[in-house]
Structure 1
Amino acid sequence: MAVLHSKDLVNWSMIGHVVPDLTSIGPEYNYDRMNRYGRGVWAGAIRFHKNKYWVYFFTPDEGLFMSTASDPAGPWEPLHQVWEVSGWDDCCPFWDDDGQGYLVATHFADNYNIHLIKLSEDGKELLHDSDRIIHQYKGSEANKLYKINGTYYFFHSEVRAQEGFEARVVMMLRAEHIYGPYEEKEIIHTHGKEIDREPNQGGLVQTVSGDWYFISHQGSGAHEGRPLHLLPVTWVDGWPIIGEDTDGDGVGEMVWGGRKPINGYPATVLSTYDDFDRADLAPYWEWNHQPRADKWSLTARPGYLRLHTCQPIDKDNFFTVCNVLSQRAFRTVHNEATAKIEIGSMADGQEAGLCHFAKTYCTIGVQQLNGTRVLKFNSSGTIVWGPKITGSALWLRSVWNIDGISRFEYSVDGVQFTSFGDAYQLGWGNYRGDRIGLYSYNCESEQGYIDVDQFCYEVAGAK
């Protein structure tokens, strides 16, 4: 679960992760099972209370978890399982003026009923005898709870009939008492994914100057996954209106541009260049599953990432390759990711290189067979073999633009690059979009390793 930081709500940097060990959620996340694609952390929430940062989230199969930290960059307290249950999601904690904590959450397995439950004083238990259903509608989720100027506001989204179609709509309830009765209002119109890309999950943020914004995601099913977006919020008659009320009906409309909320902070890019000279991995790197700790190292050869081979659970399934290290692939007008790897310690049967994956995968790498290393392209099982690689260093590159069509290149000197393999369409993949990363595996044994010298990801507009 990634934690990002911003000073202006526009430029963000990844600063850490809440869950350093995925097996603290459950054994299905480990490298020997790898069985939780799309069923990990669902729509958690972060809040500040009693000089600590608090994070709560559900997974759909294992239940409710929480952690706290004095610094959002970590370290975070060991993950605590609050409730072992299935079928719940989209929770948010809230502490009232008297210090009483609450959790609002959706029981999606029970007709999307939204529950409000008191928290224990330490926040580690639910007081189930206080459980109340406060709302229910088709698909109601994305819950947030606020108290603003003495009024309780319950933010959520739900699936409602629009002009000839159904769409996810952002709603707000308000009441003078936390248990209601609540009155209801739609706060931004939805005209379909092709027009406004359905802003829904997210929350309200107030800047120091007093301005309000809605920070959320959009999703169109393209390779960028769900990108972050920001919309202005104005208050009219005690209701927040997201976007701009262009027709005067009291409901906001999508806007596609605006001024930054706060000036004076530089543009940031979430990842650019890594020469692996840190004592730990930069926060923008994430393992595909809980990794095998004995199969990677930043200290075995300082200044390099060493990736030892692992044998996949299923030799014909790339998604069971252990210790695939990846980061998010972005959707800009030009993207170029280049890895320099040292391959002199590879073993027979080993394959290693650069990969893209979402629901499908594509790799450009080198495989050693009978002592000979050969360039190999693999697009979800369609393989193209290339020339023999005789040197100990190899540069691998993926280049794509806003349409997400990647083209691959390789070089044996880092200067002259040659196209190789077919074009590959990056994909959506369980909401998260395409990932680009590094891999090393061996279906015959656990012999061999590569050393990654550097990984450079250039994004259009980055300086």
Structure 2
Amino acid sequence: MIQRRFLSLLFCCLVAGVCSKAQTNGNWGDQQNGTYVNPVIPADYSDLDAIRVGEDYYAISSTMQFSPGMVVIHSKDLINWEIISHVADDLSRISPNLNWDRMNCYGKGIWAGSIRYYKNRFWVYFGTPDDGFFMSSASNPAGPWEPLHHVWNVNGWDDCCSFCDEDGQLYFIATNFAVDPKNNKKYNIHLFKMTPDGKSLLMESDSIIHQSNGSEANKLYKFDGFYYHFFSEVKPEGRVMMMGRSKNIYGPWEIRQLNHVNKQLDREPNQGGLLQAPTGNWYFLTHHGSGDWEGRPASLLPVHRIDGWPVIGQPGPDTIGRMVWTGNKPVPSKSKVSIQTSDEFNAGKLKAQWEWNYQPRAGKWSLTARSGYLRLYAFTPIPSNKQGNIILRAGNTLTQRSMRTPANTATVNIDISHMADGQFAGLTHFSTTSNSLFGIKQENGIRTLVYDNNGKDTAGIQVHGKTIWLRSTWDASGVSRYAFSTDGKSYQSFGSTYQLTWGSYRGDRIGIFNFNTKDDNGYIDIAWFRYDYRK
């Protein structure tokens, strides 16, 4: 027993050394030599689920209050991913609190869900902590997706998954994380049958199939005549992956732990989806549950079948998996796709990487008012008595995820000639714990360069031209510095550095903002936004 514990400790130390190097140097993804380094997506792709259909892989990721919601990504090799759609185009169909005139759902909104393919369609189910469960389906995962259907109006539930059995019966599994009146406990996992259209739960079929500390992240599978219930739970070492196995979907379930975690080093990989490559090898696409400034990034772990159990990561002497930071690519490819970032605003619609902070105000943005430009009309933020959080209450802020790579450069070109007094527009980094705004303020007809770090302004030069170029650069440590140009050629740094941060289950967002603290007046035209992230 002592020897086995020593071997386990030695194994963990070796893995930790690889992990520490991968985390600090910002290396990631496809190495272009047949191998990859985790994370495969170094940005906030949280609450993942994933499937393979034919030779294509699809995954979904939660989006909280950002709109459009529930992002769908696609890959041919499980390493190189691109955004192809969003499931929810209008968050106000979920709740009025997710609209631009409320903006009070930080840390809430669209939580974890599942994506499945059966009956010749793609099916996505997800929940919100306050509004219950929703679903949509599509014949093509790139959309269009059907309008959201409200499956169950309930609160205190999360982490749902649909499942189609071999006989065509549909099931729905989810966690009640609030105190359940059935047994006065939290984190009860319930199983329901669904109607054939997948739009209603058969409440009389409700059955609790598991309960443990923090048991969430539910997924259902069936392999070789066994039902497998994947979930995660909280143990003294941290949040770990668990699995139940049974010949009957209602149990009894044989339970096994699938991985060990080190909270500081491997950041608790847990929520995700099991996938089988055409070679027959199995993999697990997962987020890292412990968030940092980039959020909860995505990694790909090998799966080893041991006595029929899918052990995730590298099995140790105890046959339980550990985090793996490098590996051979599952599918040989020379894929050139990547998560999109830049936009010239000349395609007639916003590109797939953009998500508004809350549902945007219709009529206050346009891609047609001036051809080849995105026009943002300024309007007043929702009042707040908290110093330095105005960006969290300003509608129509257009955002995307900030990547954790060694070199990031995001630049925006803005026509400011139609700004009005009281208006502030430019480039921002924000989370719910910290924010910075860099751009142009206009007062008494004078436009001034301003850097706002959590409510503390630093004023710069007066800007007399029609156009300003604003830039943010940051590295793998998340330290950002702003710069500006008045000719689009030479850039000058301005203000102090800014540390990107994490808050309310979300990583840092880079965005374009435009608001007016006096009245609904003034607008800006954005010619382009260009964001380059490199390995």
TM over 0.5: yes
**Equivalent residue of 1:146, what SS?**
strand
* Pairing partner for 2:187 from 112, 136, 140: 112
What amino acid is aligned across from residue 55 of structure 1 in structure 2? V
What amino acid is aligned across from residue 362 of structure 1 in structure 2? S
Deviations 1:231-251 (A, max 9, x none): 00011111111111132x221
What amino acid is aligned across from residue 193 of structure 2 in structure 1? K
What amino acid is aligned across from residue 454 of structure 1 in structure 2? W
**Equivalent residue of 2:264, what SS?**
helix
Partner of 2:534: 460
Partner of 1:421: 495
2:267 and 2:291 in contact (8 A); partners too: no
CA drift of 1:265 comes to 3.5
Between the aligned partners of 1:289 and 1:442, the Cα distance in structure 2 is 18
Q: Which residues of 2 match residues 224-373 of structure 1 at below 5 A?
A: 224-247=294-317, 249-314=318-383, 317-359=390-432, 360-373=434-447
* Pairing partner for 2:284 from 214, 229, 232: 214
**Equivalent residue of 1:294, what SS?**
coil
Partner of 1:203: 273
**335-344 or 219-228, larger mean C-alpha shift:** 219-228
CA drift of 1:54 comes to 0.5
Unaligned residue ranges in structure 2 (runs of 5+): 1-69, 180-185
Partner of 2:57: none
1:124 aligns with 2:199: yes
2:270 and 2:289 in contact (8 A); partners too: no
What amino acid is aligned across from residue 136 of structure 1 in structure 2? Q
CA drift of 1:385 comes to 0.4
1:64 and 1:81 in contact (8 A); partners too: yes
Unaligned residue ranges in structure 1 (runs of 5+): none
1:7 and 1:265 in contact (8 A); partners too: no
1:383 aligns with 2:452: no
Structure of greater relative contact order (alpha carbons < 8 Å, 6+ residues apart):
2
Q: Which residues of 2 match residues 165-184 of structure 1 at below 5 A?
A: 167-184=238-255
Deviations 1:308-340 (A, max 9, x none): 101111166221101000000010111110000
2:267 and 2:288 in contact (8 A); partners too: yes
Between the aligned partners of 1:94 and 1:414, the Cα distance in structure 2 is 53
Between the aligned partners of 1:362 and 1:195, the Cα distance in structure 2 is 29
Kindly report the root-mean-square deviation, in angstroms, between the aligned alpha carbons of the 2 structures.
1.1
Q: Which runs of 4+ in 1 moved over 4 A?
A: none
CA drift of 1:273 comes to 2.2
**Equivalent residue of 2:465, what SS?**
coil
What amino acid is aligned across from residue 252 of structure 1 in structure 2? G
2:271 and 2:289 in contact (8 A); partners too: no
Partner of 1:450: 524
1:8 and 1:265 in contact (8 A); partners too: no
1:59 aligns with 2:132: no
**Equivalent residue of 2:209, what SS?**
strand
Between the aligned partners of 2:315 and 2:342, the Cα distance in structure 1 is 42
1:8 and 1:262 in contact (8 A); partners too: yes
Q: Which residues of 2 match residues 55-94 of structure 1 at below 5 A?
A: 55-94=124-163
2:341 and 2:353 in contact (8 A); partners too: no
CA drift of 1:222 comes to 1.6
Question: Structure 1 length normalisation: TM-score?
Answer: 0.97
Deviations 1:5-26 (A, max 9, x none): 1111111101111110000001
Partner of 2:166: 97
CA drift of 1:73 comes to 1.2
CA drift of 1:272 comes to 3.6
Partner of 1:148: 223
CA drift of 1:215 comes to 0.7
Partner of 1:189: 260
Question: Structure 2 length normalisation: TM-score?
Answer: 0.84
Partner of 1:393: 467
Deviations 1:22-42 (A, max 9, x none): 000010001111111111111
State, as a whole percentage, how many aligned pairs show the same letter. 54
